[in-house]
Amino acid sequence: MRFLKEPDYSHGKIGKTAVVLINLGTPDAPTRPAVRRYLKQFLWDRRIVEVPRAIWWLILHGIILPFRSGQSAKKYASIWTNDGSPLKVHTEKQAVLLKGYLGERGHEVHVTYAMRYGTPSIPDVLQKLKADGYDRLLILSAYPQYSATTTGSNFDAVFSHYQQVRNIPELRLVKNYHDHEAYIEALRLSVLASWQTNGRPEKLVMSFHGLPKAFLLRGDVYHCECYKTARLLAEKLGLSKDQYIVTFQSRLGKAEWLQPYTAPTVTQLAKDGVRRIDVICPGFIADCLETLEEIAMEVRSDFLQAGGKEFNYIPCLNESPSWLRALAEIAEQHLIGWPTMLTVSMREEQKQQALLSRAEAKRMGANQ
């Protein structure tokens, strides 16, 4: 095995701590070649597709990539911003703001982000952190609910990278936070803010990303954690069981996935006479193709065409202050025991840095 080149080592050097926020990823551009490269990497992950490799290679390269790349590129183009992919823009802002919020709580840590597929890649980010002298890393996935296909895949990429490293940094991994009180509270506040502006719906639809049913039967806990998130949020909102429904979106292929499916469910609600629904996607912490195009455009159209009168999409948590406070609290709980606490004078400096971070995030938003 070939090991990666190690940075120069010196005894007595003070170690540093970093938080790595990892999200799914996105194409570099809303073009067919860029989307093809992204899908090729994404759909070749053994965590995503468990079909035997030889058979799957033929399906992927003979059917999916030639035909799906162009269709997906058009969808990405419909949500692309001047600054690029919404998912990447939001993830970058979250990393900038998280550093500020952790600084306000008294922690001297670096915060950066990586993408499981696309750029910046997990190996590139981890290698740069090592070169910069960070020897304690907190790996924080952008998935509140654990699944082998998401958080598990992130862990695979981290472990795979460190198989090539001699001096591995100290690692901590956040598996999930689907029932974390601060996360649920951030969701509650986002719903209430929407209702204050738009009024209340007849039905709140909580749409989570789908998963093949076979994965559930093989032991994936994702399904259970989605329902727990939904139950806790409904309780916080004071909703009865007939006032909300849990659904699953983004199916791929002909195999059975977790049900009920989002699009058919909202269509049936409209046919049953439900005039107004709100849809929230609690499993996504940043708006992306699956929320902005699939839900806010396609599912909206399905509901209205089936006879519904009003459809309201509640945005993801993105950079809401309640969510950044929650994310800082989640990170802080996993930083306990590491020497990250600041002196009094350093805390004052960090407060100023936090203000600058928020100003930078606002500037980034103004340029979209």
Ligand-binding annotation for 290, yes or no, is yes
CB atoms under 10 Å from CB of 78, counted, come to 12
Helix-then-strand count for the chain, H and E: 13, 8
Q: Which residue has the tokens 């090729």?
A: 40
Amino acid at position 12, single letter: G
- Rounded Cα distance between 368 and 360, Å, is 13
Strand order across the beta sheet in which 203-209 lies: 244-249, 203-209, 276-280, 310-314
Ramachandran angles phi, psi of 250, nearest 5°: 65, 50
Ramachandran angles phi, psi of 313, nearest 5°: -90, 125
- Rounded Cα distance between 255 and 216, Å, is 13
Closest CA to 9 of 133, 129, 111, 118: 133
Amino acid at position 269, single letter: L
Residue pair 142/113 in contact (Cβ under 8 Å)? The answer is no
Ramachandran angles phi, psi of 205, nearest 5°: -100, 120
Ramachandran angles phi, psi of 39, nearest 5°: -65, -35
- Rounded Cα distance between 323 and 183, Å, is 7
Residue 38's contacts (CB-CB under 8 Å, 6 or more residues apart) are 25, 26, 27, 28, 117, 118
- Rounded Cα distance between 111 and 92, Å, is 10
Ramachandran angles phi, psi of 115, nearest 5°: -120, 135
Residue 160's contacts (CB-CB under 8 Å, 6 or more residues apart) are none
CA angle 337, 342, 347 (to 5 degrees): 140
Binding residues for Fe(2+): 209, 290
Binding residues: 209, 290
